[in-house]
Chain A
């Protein structure tokens, strides 16, 4: 059994991953910018952390909108996804069963 020289490749892989991370973080910071995490002046009363959605409603999580959108605008992809999951179930069953059965 041939083994790749794992020890030397580990260093090269680590350096490659670190370089990729440096490029990604540099791109994010240069495009989006890094705002300070804590604002310099704290407000007197901390407001409730809600999100104002497209239709003007205020909701912290938006899960009601997600459900509504999932069953109106995206109902056909939802049904197709059910078929994909069924196909994956059948395919994995067929592939994982023993050969002689």
Chain B
């Protein structure tokens, strides 16, 4: 069995890829994909510690987390669709309707 630190380092790398994408990319869909990357890094951590401590609660929590991620993705893509209907693109530089 792999030591737990390797799982944590993989999760850190995936999380940083997500952070870099959220900060850099300009397309709303790509930003949502990078948010999913960060979420899945947290899931990798939960699974790694659940396996390390031989506890099943972490697995169940990750199942809940994945389902909530699905709900979040559905809502996010619906918002992006309605933005695309009104502005004809999903470039976040053009979305400033919530700015005061």
Q: Residues of A with Cβ closer than 8 Å to B?
A: 1-4, 6, 9-10, 13-14, 16-18, 20-21, 24-25, 28-29, 32-35, 37, 49, 51-54, 62, 65-66, 69-70, 74, 77, 81, 84-85, 87-89, 91-93, 95-96, 98-99
Contact = CB atoms under 8 A, between A and B. Distances in A.
Contact of B23 (A16, A70, A88): A16
Interface residues of B, number: 42
B27 interface: no
A1 B93 contact: yes
B67 A13 contact: no
B19 A66 contact: no
A33 to B, nearest CB: 6
B9 interface: yes
A contacts with B: majority SS: helix
B contacts with A: majority SS: helix
Nearest to A66: B59
Contact of B60 (A13, A74, A95): A74
B63 A28 contact: no
Contact of B67 (A1, A2, A3, A85): A85
Contacts of A21: 12-13, 16
B10 to A, nearest CB: 10
A29 to B, nearest CB: 7
A93 B81 CA distance: 11
Contact of A34 (B5, B23, B70): B5
A7 B91 CA distance: 16
Contacts of B94: 1
Contact of B56 (A24, A33, A34, A65): A65
